[in-house]
Amino acid sequence: MRIIFFGTPDFSVPTLAALLTSEHQVLGVVTQPDKRRGRGSDLIPSPIKQLALDANLPIWQPTRIKQDKKVIEALQACGADVFVVVAYGQILSQEILNIPKLGCINNHASLLPCYRGAAPIQWALYHGEPETGITTMLMDAGMDTGAMLLTVKTPIRLEDNAATLGARLAGLGANLLLETLAQFPRLTPIPQDPTQATYAPLIKKPDYELAWSRSALDLHNQVRGFYPYCQTQLLGQTLKITKTLPLTTDVITELLEKLQAWVNQSESDPQGIGNTVAILKGLGPVVQTGQGQLLIQEVQPAGKKRQSGWDFANGLRLTVGQAWS
């Protein structure tokens, strides 16, 4: 098939890379404009643009594609069979969706109709889902409402975070997209059931704030879902929490043997929510939550690099009883 690829972040790269080594022809790439990043505020191309440059592909970077007549006309002139869209970052108008001969196929990082929207991986982790996956669908003008083509599932592990799960899903999505194209003439699109739909909205700054009155498992899901941005206060300083482990009976079988022993012998203190209740050698501090205790495995102090919870506790000379807020 003759394909134009729409995508922007690292998550999109495996799919474009797979298409470039397949029997299909990639005619060009549409990606978001370069962004200024770093101390020098240099313009940095998206990961997809970099891959497209390496492959000598035509590249379009409209600020608002629905209003860019020149880009729309260029896409119309390509004679594409299919547009493939993977985490592009802009909504396509019906005018654009109508351009390819066979339609627009989207890789969405959830088991639709659950978690439609901008951040399906993050919210699936936040809500403690046991599994997630990739759905390929025919795009329509709605927000991830198109008829479904194929799905692939993967379990969500206790140690997964948005980065590790995203990388796994990106690889699965690349394979599923090739399978979808291979089967495309024979596939029967399946309409989504709107009564089963859930949503994954954009993440906002308040979502990063940790409240120790929540349960240990809920806090763990928040930290890994919104990785690496969740934060708290300790000794008057802002501290990012980037890796945790809930020390609770509902996940005890997934813990190391010595942590299983800790769960079995420790007692929660409902009056000491947010307090350091222990510092486990080689592991890090343990904080009392509203339900259960949370091991802090990795942190990032303001202006510093990430470090293990154990190194952080030693460097700060953290003691039992000190409060996190």
Cis link prior to 120 (omega < 30° from 0)? no
User: What is the C-alpha to C-alpha distance for residues 230 and 207, in angstroms, rounded to an integer?
Assistant: 8
Is 266 within any annotated ligand binding site?
Answer: no
Cis link prior to 285 (omega < 30° from 0)? no
Is 268 within any annotated ligand binding site?
Answer: no
Contact (Cβ atoms closer than 8 angstroms) between residue 281 and residue 310 = yes
Contact (Cβ atoms closer than 8 angstroms) between residue 166 and residue 11 = yes
Is 51 within any annotated ligand binding site?
Answer: no
Q: Where are the alpha helices (DSSP H) in the chain?
A: 13-20, 47-54, 69-77, 94-97, 120-126, 162-183, 216-225, 257-265, 309-316
Backbone angles phi, psi at 102, to 5 degrees: -105, -10
User: What is the C-alpha to C-alpha distance for residues 282 and 291, in angstroms, rounded to an integer?
Assistant: 24
Of 215, 212, 214, 219, the C-alpha closest to 233 is 212
Is 247 within any annotated ligand binding site?
Answer: no
Question: Which pairing describes strands 284-288 and 276-280: parallel, antiparallel, or unpaired?
Answer: antiparallel
Annotated binding site: 110-113
Q: Which residues are annotated as a binding site for (6S)-5,6,7,8-tetrahydrofolate?
A: 110-113
